[in-house]
Chain A
Amino acid sequence: MTNILIKNARVIDPKNQLDEVTDIYISKQRIAGVGAAPTNFTADETIDANGLWLIPGIVDLSARLREPGLEQKANIKTEARAAASAGITTLCVPPDTDPVIDEPAVVELIHHKAKQAKQSQVVTLGALTAGLKGKQLSEMATLKKAGCVGISNCKNTIDNTQILHRAFQYASTHNITVFIEAHEPHLSANGCAHEGPIASRLGLTPIPYAAETAPIAQVLELIRGTDIRVHFGRLSCARSIELINEAKASGLQVTADVAAHQLHLTEMDISSFNSQCHVMPPLRSQRDMQALRRGVANGAINSICSDHQPHELDAKQAPFPATESGISGVETLLPLTLKLVDNGQLSLNTAIASITCNSAAILGLDVGHLSVGSTANLCLIDPEKEWVFHSADMLSHGKNTPFSGWNFKGKVTQTIINGRTIYIDK
């Protein structure tokens, strides 16, 4: 096994409150030393990282890899490779695959494919209800044993509130975190745009704030006074942050994330029917975007994720309401996050924490940091590199992005997973 010495990198490790130029020693797939060499260490490979940043491997809370079920859009191998090239070393897959992740065989299939791919590591969420149909609890304990790091019903509704209530109790019994994508289907029926002046002008069926905030409020009432862990994913509304803050203040164990694109785009961006900006939840007002940015900055929102949803070309080539929602996001997660630092919206420490250790903590994984003894997942970044992102250059099978042509500063030069170099920028 190769021993690697990375010299003179600016090591940014928020979990260990480390931000200094130092050396990192990797041995037996693990971090063997920070600053000081472990005894008897001989480097097989030395990387001079002078002028580069070294951060823990990025942990992405929500990435749809489209396998199994939608392989015409993408597959685990292509997407894990795209993610690795963007510094992401752990991907969390929601259970709305086909078949749904509601039995161990599907979990094993995904883990097996990911291992074969030898790229970013892939973890899974299990279904909260059988088939995500909202009628019957899934075998959560079995799914956890098979490797699921949490459970979710994705955007599928549970009409019967008692089932939802019991799902929380049962998950809590087995110490499983419940991941919620708040989405009230009746309020957002056939909707494709934020209820506001742009949707009204364009004649697009609107999605009101309440489609997100009402189910969040409902969940918070259902778990009031308990220690059930609930994570709210992909927030889009300023009011959602207030609800989460109130819940945190009252002692509930809740966390939240936001998709990177929600921190940069607003309803204005769909005003020319740009289907690349068709996302769910929809892009909302400038005020909401500012609140989401503040939420990340002050810790109300713990994590930024890619909400990766690669599509085939045809899925976006239609009139706006007929297009599929979602952005192919793994390759813009870090650039969009660093842009907030560059613009003075986020401190570098908070930015890195929100895509590494904070995300890992939500998943209950011992990754996202550079403690001695931990798995050597990390990436090197050239912080001064200015570059233009082009959809044609994407490694993801899905080229659907509204960010093509954007200028970014800071680029991944190398990604190391499990002590092995998986990606190197040539």
Chain B
Amino acid sequence: MVNKATRPTDDLLGQDLWNIQLDEQGQLKHFLTIEGLGSNILKQILDTAESFAGVNASVKKVPILRGKTIVNLFFEASTRTRTTFELAAKRLSADVLNMNISVSATSKGETLLDTLRNLEAMQADMFVVRHADSGTAHFIANHVAPHVRVLNAGDGQHAHPTQAMLDMFTIRRKKGADFGKLRVAIVGDILHSRVARSQIHALNTLNTGEVRVVGPKTLIPKDIEAMGVTVFHDMQQGIQDADVVIMLRLQKERMQGGLLPSEQEYFELYGLTEERLKGAKADAIVMHPGPINRGVEIESSVADGPQSVILNQVTYGIAVRMAVMAMTLGGNVSKANQEDAS
């Protein structure tokens, strides 16, 4: 960065990661990563989600996005996440198109940009994107027509911002709005986890008292401390006196790469058991982005136990996704919402 003079916008360079997400008024335009967004935006997402949380039960639909077309563009298989985005869009009265594009199909010739241009020609207003490569949502946001919005539903190991926000929503509901007094431990495969990265950004933006990551050295990325976390390799120490324990899913392929010897040893060292959970605060909540590997990262009795809020997370996911869709596409959300309620 030393010798740089000017950086033109007309060349092949991407914009800064954080600027591209906001419009000129500082309102959310795309939702690609938590990084760079202020606590005001995050709180706005949570508050908006709160206003939608009731929609699920009483009013089935609100007309905020009537006439808008949302394309779920999934390059990685995912039924659950896609379904919650689809439900969120439908409750906002948008038309939804689901595109499941296997990576092998794109590698046969059509580039990602070709795919985008084709879908844009179908008058899409928003792309909800999931892709195995880090940076995909950012790449797409840099290349779509100006009126098209992009939501990141998970890009490689980089970010999964709606998951992080539904986790923040869950924590706020269960633990109150003051994150400053909370100690949060994220346990497991941090290295490959886009969920963990987005959670860390969100927790720190909301001024969480202490954010810890817990795992063996093979699953903790280098210099992760720079993101504002404390690293623990011992599970018991890592969750000691925690208010929130977030367990991450362990992928089976981690055994092949020499990152771990076996699922058994992993469960023995890092699995969340009832016994271990006693080290956390008595009223600690247990979270998991799903899907759960019972007996690998978490014991069934904990996953189904009284401290688990795993199913709440799934429910809140719809409200949070409605919130970011409405904020990026719908203009004045609270007003529209009130009109509908009246």
Residues of A in contact with B (beta carbons under 8 Å apart): 195-197, 199-206, 208, 264, 266, 268-269, 271-276, 314, 316-322, 339, 343, 388, 390-391, 399-400, 402, 404-407
Contacts and interface: CB of A to CB of B under 8 A. Distances in A.
A268 B134 CA distance: 16
A266 B11 CA distance: 20
Interface stretch (B48-56, B154-162, B333-341): B154-162
A201 B134 contact: no
Nearest to A285: B223
A320 B197 contact: no
Given A319-B135, A320-B133, A322-B133, 5 more contacts: A196-B222, A319-B134, A319-B155, A321-B133, A391-B12
B163 to A, nearest CB: 14
A204 B136 CA distance: 12
Contacts of B7: 405
Residue in B12, B136, B197, B221 with the greatest tally of chain A CB atoms within 10 Å: B12
Interface string B1-23: 11111111001111111000000
Nearest to B13: A274
Contact of B226 (A201, A318, A339): A201
Nearest to B9: A405
B226 A272 contact: no
A404 B133 contact: no
Given A274-B13, A318-B112, A202 B135 contact: yes
A201 B35 contact: yes
A388 B6 CA distance: 9
Interface of A is mostly: loop
B77 interface: no
B203 to A, nearest CB: 15
Interface in B225-251: 226-227
A361 B269 CA distance: 57
B221 A273 contact: no
Contacts of A321: 133-135, 156
Nearest to A316: B12
A123 B134 CA distance: 39
A322 B11 CA distance: 20
Interface string B120-146: 000000000001011110110001000
Contacts of B259: none
For the complex, would chain B's binding face be called helix, strand, loop or mixed by DSSP majority?
Answer: loop
Nearest to B138: A273
Contact of B11 (A197, A268, A391): A391
Residue of A197, A320, A322 with highest tally of chain B CB at under 10 A: A322
Interface of B: 1-8, 11-17, 35, 111-113, 131, 133-136, 138-139, 143, 155-159, 194, 197, 221-224, 226-227
A268 B135 contact: no
A83 to B, nearest CB: 22
B221 A199 contact: yes
Contact of A320 (B35, B111, B134, B222): B134
A272 B17 contact: yes
Q: Which of A200, A203, A405 has the most CB of B within 10 A?
A: A203
Nearest 8 pairs between A and B by C-beta?
A: A203-B157, A203-B158, A200-B221, A273-B135, A319-B133, A407-B5, A405-B8, A197-B223
A318 B221 contact: no
B8 to A, nearest CB: 4
B158 A202 contact: yes
A404 B134 contact: no
Contact of A203 (B14, B111, B134): B134
Contacts of B134: 202-204, 273, 319-321
A274 B14 contact: yes
A319 B136 contact: yes
Nearest to B18: A272
Nearest to B192: A203
